[in-house]
Amino acid sequence: MSSNEKYTLNFSKPEKIYFVGIGGISMSGLAEILADAGFTVSGSDRSSSAITQGLEAKGIKVFYGQKYENITADIDCVVFTSAIRPDNPEYKAAQELGLKTLTRAELLGQIMKNYSIPVAVSGTHGKTTTTSMISEILLAADVNPTLSIGGVLPTIGGNVRVGGPEYFVTEACEYTNSFLSFFPKVSIITNIEADHLDFFKDLDDIRNSFRKFAQLLPDDGALIIGGDIERYKEITDGLGCKVITYGLEKKDAYGNPMDYYPENITYNELGRASFTVVSKDERREVSLQVPGEHNVINALGAIALADAIGISHEQSAASVHNFKGTDRRFEYKGVVDGITVIDDYAHHPTEIEATLKVAQKIEHNTLWVVFQPHTFTRTKAFMKEFAQALSMADKIVLPDIYPARETDNLGISSATLCEELRKLGADAVYIPSFDRVENFLLENCTKGDMLITMGAGEAYKIGESLLGK
């Protein structure tokens, strides 16, 4: 997505920036940061949403519907996401007018250059929660951070916070290699697994991208990396920066001592952990208000990063305790007719397994999961792994796949996944439409059951509809 000339941000001379797809969780955050810095910001999206309404309330002009005539010659730069295709009318207009363009990732990278300590949180899983925990630590430490999070953090009432010029914290997604446009001083790599196989060839291709991401760090920077990542030294070898490992075990993937690990993990009746953080220089007690073993790991990464940038140990431990979660991460939605409704963003087999392990620690009768698979590519690539993970639930309901950017169904559907589940002896049913799913649940769920709506698409709407929201 490049035009004749790349645009370079000049914060001392703010100009006119247009965002195609301004209502996205990341694009909206960048739009707010630029608007606050004095840039004249406008953009378009398909339809009105809480995010676009929030932008409008801040004086940002939003066009509904992406149209050629929205792009005018006085725009200094047009920003696109990787989802925008060359036949998009606004993209075509920008090209024909010879306007400068930036991808979302390129813009984010340029924004990072404006801060003293840019922090980038990457990995296949755990990015949003780890970024949010770091955000809580920096907010409590009163260092006035600028934040760009891939989910809504209740503490800041959204996904973005504009702060001072020192700390900038953002998620760094590997999809389309967007994180290779970044300029971090400190980075986290939570884990590396196969995903986004509509872009990457295989796991080795993904690992190669994470290696390039690690190499972006300056010699006076730091990389905090999951020490249980297989052959992680292929990612870190030869780096000039400090490398810090963390994970659940005392030893890393090579049998060396882990820099940060937990001891004495216990869980309460809500699945929330208390544990001792063991690091080279001390032991400290931590308790969480978010459930699951995966959040123990997320907290360790956030604490390791906080130590690396000089936040006090007491502050980081207190802040991760105060963290109450982000939207769509095992989010309690309410109770209807005695049925507890939870929503979760899990859309990869590893995430599903982590979520269902949490659910199993909480008292319930029957555990229902309504899982909407996200993209045909991911569903086909992990068909057996999805079935294995989902079979941890008592009953599974599968609506149609959420296609996102994809148009080719690759000859599969949710019915295919349902067949795989039944081969494992799981109680699974394929019900294409949300309306029919709701009716099925109303007829079959009973008092004391737990219902989890799950996926990166729109499955959350089913739970909200049942609750009358």
Catalytic site positions: 127-128, 171
What DSSP state is assigned to residue 323? Answer: -
CA distance 360 to 374: 24
Tokens standing for residue 19: 């965002």
The answer to whether the beta carbons of residues 271 and 340 sit under 8 Å apart is no
Q: Residue 347: exposed, middle, or buried by beta-carbon count in 10 A (0-12, 13-18, 19+)?
A: buried
Measure Cα distances from 166 to 10, 112, 117 in Å. 17, 10, 6
* DSSP string across 354-407: HHHHHHHTS--SSEEEEE--B-HHHHHHTHHHHHHHHTTSSEEEE---B-TT--
CA distance 451 to 445: 8
CB atoms within 10 A of CB 467: 13
CA distance 158 to 385: 33
The answer to whether the beta carbons of residues 268 and 253 sit under 8 Å apart is no
CA distance 130 to 259: 17
The answer to whether the beta carbons of residues 390 and 370 sit under 8 Å apart is no
Measure Cα distances from 234 to 204, 228, 239, 334 in Å. 11, 13, 10, 45
Measure Cα distances from 289 to 267, 321, 342 in Å. 11, 6, 16
CA distance 414 to 387: 11
What lies within 8 Å, CB to CB, of 203 at 6+ separation is: 192, 193, 194
The answer to whether the beta carbons of residues 115 and 165 sit under 8 Å apart is yes
Q: Rounded to 5 degrees, what are φ and ψ at 151?
A: -160, 170
CA distance 256 to 261: 12
